Structure 1
């Protein structure tokens, strides 16, 4: 019985597929370009707070999302419209 060695691309694809179910609620890949200023600000903030850039970005997004949802009525159209994006 011989086992075929997987290519780097196959190993990477398998790893990416596993990320969708990692942690408490899985993970999603974000692939985008940002301005140099935004990238440098993220690096500065992360270093200042002793976090990775990923952790800093997740924190900033969670704080902004929490602030916005705290002001929305869960029974309102605005609430439904805001959360429709994630469905």
Structure 2
């Protein structure tokens, strides 16, 4: 029996969520942003010859890495940042 469009879309999203070498997959991001931020993202992506997705991923990962580098893994700040509870 043929799948409905909704069923095919659900299966596609499920595959994307678990795809990848580590089985970690991807996560869907659906949001609104200001025009200012959207235009800035487009300019940055164009400057570095990457997609807007790639540019956003780079910015987020680099900002996160800068914070993590300054945290002691055995500190309360580390736990607070990663949402862990002692």
TM-score, normalization: structure 2? 0.88
Per the alignment, residue 50 of structure 2 pairs with 51
Any residues of structure 2 matched to 1:65-84 within 5 Å, and which?
65-84=64-83
Aligned CA RMSD, in angstroms, stands at 1.2
CA distance in 1, matches of 2:19, 2:54: 16
The answer to which of 49-58 and 16-25 deviates more is 16-25
C-alpha displacement of 1:26: 1.2
The one of 11, 14, 17 equivalent to 2:8 is 11
TM-score, normalization: structure 1? 0.87
Question: How many residues get paired?
Answer: 82
C-alpha displacement of 1:63: 0.5
Structure 1 residues not aligned, in runs of 5+: none
Structure 2 residues not aligned, in runs of 5+: none
CA distance in 1, matches of 2:4, 2:46: 36
The runs of at least 4 aligned residues of structure 1 exceeding 3 Å deviation read: none
